[in-house]
Structure 1
Amino acid sequence: MPTTPPDELTRLIDAALPQTQCTRCDYPDCAAYARALARGEAGIDQCPPGGAEGVARLAALTGQPVRPLNPAHGSEGPLRLAVIDEAWCIGCTLCIKACPVDCIVGAPKLMHTVVAAQCTGCELCIPACPVDCIALVDAGGARTGWAAWSPAQAAQARERHAFRAVRLEQAARDNDARLAAKAEAKLVDLPAHSRHTDPAVLDRKRAVIEAALARARARQR
C-alpha cells in the first residue's frame, strides 16, 4: 500500500488525470475523482479519456494492480472536439453553461462557437443543446487516450476549469449581494407605520431573507 500522505497522493493522482472534466468517472470533475481515489473510494478503471495508459499511471500511484477500463464508464477512444452548426444555433447559452472549461463563446440569442484549441471533448454540451446543433468530430485520428492528449493540454484544461469555478463563485456572491441589497431596500422603504420593531417579527423577516439567499446559492451550484 502507498505511504504517500493523502493530500499529496490526491495531488499526484490529479496530475496523472487528463483533466477533460467529462464526469464519466461518476465524479463532478477530475479533482473530485482524484480525492476519491486517494481515499480508496473509487477504482482506477473509471477514466475513459485516460485509457489504458491512464489506468497504468493510476495503478502505479495507488499500488493497485493494472486492470482494464470499466465499460460502465465508457471506452478508450480518440480525441473528439465539439463543433456547433451555426445555421441551427439559437443562442440559448445552455452549452456555454455546460462547458466545464469555458471554451464556448457567444451571447444570448447570438450564434455560439467552440474554441477548438481549448475543447476537451467532454461531450457535456451535447445533451445541453435543445436543438441538437452540436456534433463531435474526430481530432485524434488513430491515436487514443493519452496518445491523443498531451500534458500541456491537460494543464490548460485544469487551469480553465479552476478559473471557471472561481468565476461561478464570484457570480454567486455578486448575486447574493444584489438579493440582500434588494431585500434590505424593501425593508427600508416600508412606510413608518408598517415597520414593526418586535424582535420576533424582525427575526422572521431575516429568516425569510436568509432562506431566499440560500435558495439562490443552491441554484448557482
Structure 2
Amino acid sequence: MSDTLIRRIDALLPQTQCTRCGYDACLPYAQAIALEGEAINRCPPGGQEGVQALAELLERDPLPLDPACGEFTGPSRAVIIEEHCIGCTLCIQACPVDAIVGANKLMHTVLADRCTGCELCVPPCPVDCISLVPTDDWNSAQAEQARQDTEQRRDRLLGRHKESSDLAARTLANKPVLATNADQADKREASIASALARARARRASKTASGTTP
C-alpha cells in the first residue's frame, strides 16, 4: 500500500528535482510525505495547485506554500552564455537530469527539452554564465521524461561508484602510490583558476576592441 501511495504522490510532483523541498529529489520527498507525514506544501515549482492536488489525494488541509522553501515563479529553463563558458564541467555534475552536455575545457550547452529549470547548475558556475529564462508550462510528458532521466542518472552514478569501489579494492591489494584527495582538489582548483584567467583575458580583449555585447 505504501509503495502505491508513494507512486501516486510522486506522480503529482513536478519532477523538477530542484531540492527546494529539502530532499534530494522529488521521489524522496514523496516518500517522506507518505511514510513520515512530511508537510505537503514544500514544493515551490508545484505551486498552490500542486499543494491542492496533494491535499485532495491525502485528505489533508491545503496549506499555503511554505515560504522557507521559496516562491512559485513558473516554469523556466537554464541557458548558458556559450562564449563565456570555460568548460569546467561543474554545471554538468550538478544537473540532476543530465540536461547539460559538453566536455572539459570545451563549451557546454543545455538541452532545452530536458532542462527542468531546477537552478542547481547556477551556483557552481565560476563565471556566472548560466541564467534562467521563462518557458512554456511544464507538462506531464516533460515531468515523466525528467523522472526517467533522474532514475537513469542515479543508476549510472551508483554503477560508477561500484566500479570505483571495486577498482579501489584491487588497487589497494597491489599497494600502489595513490594521489590524495587533497592533491586532486588542488589540481582541479588550479585548472579552474587557469580557465578563469583565460576567460577574463578574453572578455578584456573584447571590451578593448569594442565587441562585447
Q: Which TM bucket (shorter chain)?
A: 0.7 to 0.9
Question: For residue 196 of structure 2, what is the aligned residue in structure 1?
Answer: none
Unaligned stretches of 5+ residues in structure 1? 141-147, 188-211, 213-221
What is the 5 A alignment of 1:64-143? 64-140=60-136
- Look up the equivalent residue of 1:159 and give its one-letter code: Q
Matched, 1:10 2:6: yes
Aligned partner of 2:33 in structure 1 is 37
Give the Cα–Cα distance (whole angstroms) in 2 for the partners of residues 151 and 80 of structure 1: 15
Query: By how many angstroms is 1:186 displaced?
Result: 2.6
Q: What is the rounded CA distance, in whole Å, between the counterparts of 1:116 and 1:69 in structure 2?
A: 28
Q: State how 1:39-58 maps to structure 2 within 5 Å.
A: 39-58=35-54
| 2:187 equivalent to 1:182 | no
**Shift of residue 122 of structure 1?**
0.1
Deviation at 1:39, TM superposition (A): 2.0
Count of matched residue positions in the alignment of Structure 1 and Structure 2: 177
C-alpha distance in 2 between matches for 1:175 and 1:52: 43
Q: Does 1:63 align with 2:84?
A: no
Name 1:168's counterpart in structure 2.
157
Following TM superposition, by how much is the alpha carbon of 1:30 offset from its aligned partner in structure 2, in angstroms? 0.4
Normalising by structure 1, report the TM-score: 0.77
Letter in 1 for 2:96: P
Letter in 1 for 2:20: R
- Structure 1 residues 176 and 77 mapped into 2: Cα distance closer, same or farther (>3 Å)? same
Match of 2:194 in 1: none
CA deviations 1:164-199 (Å, max 9, x no partner) are 001101111111122122112238xxxxxxxxxxxx
CA distance in structure 2 between the aligned counterparts of 1:30 and 1:110, rounded to whole angstroms: 31
When structure 1 is superposed on structure 2, of 18-27 and 65-74 the one drifting more is 65-74
Deviation at 1:131, TM superposition (A): 1.1
Question: Using the alignment, how far apart are the partners of 1:33 and 1:153 within structure 2?
Answer: 19
Instruction: Flag as ranges the 4+ runs of structure 1 deviating above 4 A.
Output: none
> 1:62 deviation in Å?
1.3
What letter is aligned with 1:34?
A
Contact 1:9 1:61 in 2 (8 A): no
Q: Between the two proteins, what is the percent identity of the paired residues?
A: 53
What is the alpha-carbon distance in structure 2 between the residues aligned to residue 107 and residue 66 of structure 1?
A: 45
TM-score by length of 2: 0.80
Matched, 1:22 2:50: no
Contact 1:17 1:30 survives alignment (8 Å): yes
Which runs of 5 or more residues in structure 2 are unaligned?
A: 181-213
For the pair shown, which has the larger CA radius of gyration, 1 or 2? Answer: 1
SS at match of 2:122: helix
**How far did 1:21 drift?**
0.3
